[in-house]
Structure formats: structure tokens, C-alpha cells
Amino acid sequence: MKLVSTLALVLAVAATACVGNSVSPQGDNPGFDALEVGDTLRYRVLSGQQYPSQTESPYSYTSGVLVAEVVASTANGLLINEYFEVVPGDDELPWGVDDTTYEYLIDVVGDDLRIIPNGSFFQSRLFPSWGAPELPLADITNQQAQLFGWKTTLGYCECASEAYVVDGGINGATYPRLNVVVRNEGMQVDGPGATYLYSGDFGLVRSIQYSWWTGEGIGYDLIP
């Protein structure tokens, strides 16, 4: 059996979690259509294990905060700088993660979010080049899934699939409805896979990527 080892930047807010309860997202953070130059979105870094397992889904948060900053508006979309923020007490980034600043463009075209290279070479942690260059913003309705640790209850598949989650709790906030887009086609040839949880109202809430070889992965959860 094969073992498995990042949309845009968006997020409307989520309130911070209270002791004993999760809270619904609310606040000032912009959605996809409302992003402006100067907006900064921050993501907590997670490390997950046992991606292929249907019974186990352990994960933990690690050092580092990933920042997606809107630095310019161009004819082709908003220019994003993606980089790691220095957090007091963190002595290093997670294994396999570098501190390079990546640049790319995002644009809402009709009902789709498009991620566009800024030049001939594309890199992003939230939107890996082998993942989805385009994500549907309209509600996905074909099947419902649930959150299960750092992944969802969708069965293991080396394929593309879509679903939705209702009342999904991520990093202390509960989101009433999120699209789920899985892009695992690369795993057919021993490459990585990626899953995105997001909505038009709240933006990108979780982006994860994982290895076919190890069953381990890294992810980014929106900080409420």
C-alpha cells in the first residue's frame, strides 16, 4: 500500500477561541473580492502524519508564522509577497521549509480564484505549483465531508476530488461552510498531493500538502 507523506490569501476573519467553546469567524479581515494593497494575512504552521490512514490523523502546530501580504495591484491581479515572520522564541523553521520570499499574483475571475506566476517561475507554499492554479469560489455541493484532524473524511485517492464541510473548526474558529478541493493526481507518479479548505466569504482557511513517500505533510491554518 502506498504511503503518503499548499486560495488565495484570503480570509475574512475569525474571532479568537474562548475557553471551552469555539467561535464563529467575524471581524475586519477581507474576503477575496475585498483584498487591498497593505492587507496582511497570517497562517500558523502545522505538521501532520499518517495521511493515508482512515483511523489516525495526528498533527501539531510548529514554529513559524507564514505571512501573505498584498504589496501591489497590477493589471493581472494583486501581487502577493509570501514569507515567514520571525516569532520570538522560535529558533528555526520546520524541516524542509525555507525563509525565501515568494511572489505571485491572485485574481478573482467570475466564480474562480486564479493563482498566476509573476514571471516565468512560480513558487508558493499556500498554492504549490503542482496544486490547483484555479479554485472554484461557488459553493461545492456534490458531497459532504467532515474535518478529521489535519485532513478530512474523504477516502484516500490519488485523484482530484471536491466536497464541502459544514461547521468546520480550524485553529479556534468555526466556519459555517467551506469548500474542500483535493489535488492528489501527482501521487499517481509518487509525487505530492494538496488539499485546500476555503470559501468566498472567509478565504483560504487551511492549505495542506503531503508526501506520497512518507505519509507526512505540512500545512497552514489561518490565524483568527
Looking at per-residue pLDDT, the higher value among 12 and 160 belongs to 160
Residue 17's pLDDT is 32
CB crowding 21-59: b at 16 or more within 10 Å, else e:
ebeebeeebbbbeebeeebebbbbbbbbbbbbbeeebeb
CB crowding 117-150: b at 16 or more within 10 Å, else e:
ebeeebebbbbbeebbbebbbeebeeeebebebb
pLDDT over 90 at 96, yes or no: no
Assign 10 a pLDDT band (cuts: 50, 70, 90): very low
Residue 48's pLDDT is 95
Checking 184-191 for CB contacts under 8 A at 24+ apart, the result is 184/157, 184/158, 184/159, 184/160, 185/158, 185/159, 185/160, 186/130, 186/212, 187/2, 187/4, 187/158, 187/212, 188/158, 188/159, 191/130
Measured distance CA(46)–CA(103) in Å, rounded: 22
pLDDT in tens, 173-199: 999 999 999 999 999 998 899 999 998
Provide the residue ranges of all domains of the chain, joining segments of one domain with +: 32-222
Residue 95's pLDDT is 60
pLDDT in tens, 40-69: 889 999 999 999 999 999 999 988 899 999
Site of grid cell 497552514: 220
Average pLDDT, the chain: 83
Lowest average pLDDT, out of 70-79, 87-96, 140-149, 194-203, goes to: 87-96
